[in-house]
Structure 1
Amino acid sequence: MKGLLQKQKERDKARSFKRENKNRPMEMSSKRPVPRLREVVQVSKKEGRDPRFDSLSGALQQDRFRKQYAFLYDEQLPAEKEELKSTLQKTKGLDKKKELQAQLTRVQQQIQDERSKRRKEAWEAEQKKKEREAVKSGKGVYFQKRSEKKRQELIMRYQELKATGRLEKVMAKRQKKNAAKDHRYLPSTRRQAE
């Protein structure tokens, strides 16, 4: 009897538990206890890297980035703007017109923002250049205060608006906004009951 059990155990050990089909689960012997730490086949996980936060991509060079993607603002967005204008004129549906108008406004705003960013960067570069020249000529290093920088930007914007002829419109809008703000603090007129 003992010999028979011994032979059966040997046969079970010798028997290989293979899958008949690759899609079927592996057949396991019920005689052996299941290990506490199961051996699961690990599939190698593909990790996507975000170049904005990855050190392998290197540091962001703003001026180089702007030069590489300048074609978007110089060629593609103006072309898209013209295309949207032409489709807007041809479109008859009110909902579609509103959608196209919103897209057109968004594109125009992107172009305008990029222009103002470029102007601001050019102005800042000019200021830095002047400061470097002043240091070379013997003056001490001067760091402009944030308030002074804001003031000069405001002056630059004022001159720009004056040159384009939009100054009156912007000033009227600003006055209207300030009047609305001031109106909140005024006491409301009360009717006197007679």
Structure 2
Amino acid sequence: MAKKGNLRRPRHREPDGNEAETDLAAMTFEELLELQNRVGTKMYRQLMAGPSAEDQPRRAAPTRAQGAAEKQRPLEMSSKTRVPFLRQVVPVRKKVARDPRFDDLSGEYNPEVFEKTYRFLNEYRAKEKELVAKRLKKSKLGEEQEKLKQLLHRMDQQEAAQHEQQRQQEQRLALKREQRAQAQQGHRPFFLKKSEQRQLALAEKYKKLKRSQKLESFLSRKRRRNAGKDRRRLPLGKD
């Protein structure tokens, strides 16, 4: 009795084109020889080797949802590659700091609009100054009183600097109005240089000090500063 083969193929295609299921493992050796003589050696080898890649059904193209799911799957890393110590598992969007002072989204700086918008801050500063002055009167001699004096002096300086900025701003606006009026009358507008603007500001400052009778003390302090600068610039004498 002939031995049965140990191969199993689900189906094969006959030469006439009809598809029929044949259990090759259940066929005897004589039946296999008869099949080889009937279909030919080439076809018989193809049947024994199994269906080729061309005969296998083609896989359908992945849909858009399947493609998105494939992209979201975790990345497969090789076991031979050394994993870094700080590995970025999930990509994180880098936060970019935005400085409103140098960003075009915040618009251009206009001193007039800024002053009108934040004018209410002057009231808060005045109230804080009153509170500091009251606490200074109630405080006793010591470290706390010195801190309150320094704070009140600093607030006075800030207030004086703010008034000076407002005065300079009003002076610039007056100069612009004068230039605009001359241009409307047909005259050629003139523009002062920065050095000329500083000279005008210095002259206005001297007039203000003279009215308040503080010009002499201001000039004496300035002379002492200039003399100290001159002494530092002199060469050292030899022993």
TM over 0.5: yes
Partner of 2:139: 91
Partner of 2:199: 151
Alpha-carbon offset, residue 121 of structure 1: 0.5
Match of 2:201, as an amino acid? E
Q: 1:100 to 1:34 in 2, by over 3 A?
A: farther
Partner of 1:18: none
Report the more deviating stretch, 94-103 or 38-47.
Answer: 38-47
> Alpha-carbon deviations, 1:104-158, whole Å to 9, x = none?
1221111111100000000011011111111222221212122221111111111
Give the Cα–Cα distance (whole angstroms) in 2 for the partners of residues 51 and 187 of structure 1. Answer: 49
Give the Cα–Cα distance (whole angstroms) in 1 for the partners of residues 196 and 103 of structure 2. Answer: 36
1:54 aligns with 2:103: yes
Partner of 1:101: 149
Which secondary structure does the structure 1 equivalent of 2:149 belong to?
A: helix
1:135 aligns with 2:186: no
Give the Cα–Cα distance (whole angstroms) in 1 for the partners of residues 104 and 234 of structure 2. Answer: 56
Give the Cα–Cα distance (whole angstroms) in 2 for the partners of residues 179 and 114 of structure 1. Answer: 30
Partner of 1:71: 120
Give the Cα–Cα distance (whole angstroms) in 1 for the partners of residues 100 and 236 of structure 2. Answer: 57
Alpha-carbon offset, residue 35 of structure 1: 9.3
When the two structures are superposed, what TM-score results if normalisation uses the length of structure 1? 0.68
Partner of 1:16: none
Alpha-carbon offset, residue 58 of structure 1: 2.4
State how many pairs are aligned.
160
Alpha-carbon offset, residue 48 of structure 1: 4.9
Give the Cα–Cα distance (whole angstroms) in 2 for the partners of residues 34 and 152 of structure 1. Answer: 78
Which secondary structure does the structure 2 equivalent of 1:66 belong to?
A: helix
> Alpha-carbon deviations, 1:90-116, whole Å to 9, x = none?
222522222222211221111111100
Partner of 1:3: none
Give the Cα–Cα distance (whole angstroms) in 1 for the partners of residues 187 and 132 of structure 2. Answer: 53
1:125 aligns with 2:194: no
**In the TM superposition, what are the counterparts of 1:4-43 in structure 2 within 5 Å?**
33-34=78-79, 40-43=89-92
Q: 1:57 to 1:110 in 2, by over 3 A?
A: same
Q: 1:190 to 1:125 in 2, by over 3 A?
A: same
Report the more deviating stretch, 130-139 or 91-100.
Answer: 91-100
CA RMSD of aligned residues (A): 3.2
Q: 1:135 to 1:35 in 2, by over 3 A?
A: farther
Which secondary structure does the structure 2 equivalent of 1:174 belong to?
A: helix
Higher relative contact order (CA 8 A, sep 6+): 1
| 164, 178, 185: which one aligns with 1:116 | 164
| Structure 2: 5+ residue stretches without partners | 1-73
CA radius of gyration, larger in: 2
Give the Cα–Cα distance (whole angstroms) in 2 for the partners of residues 132 and 153 of structure 1. Answer: 21
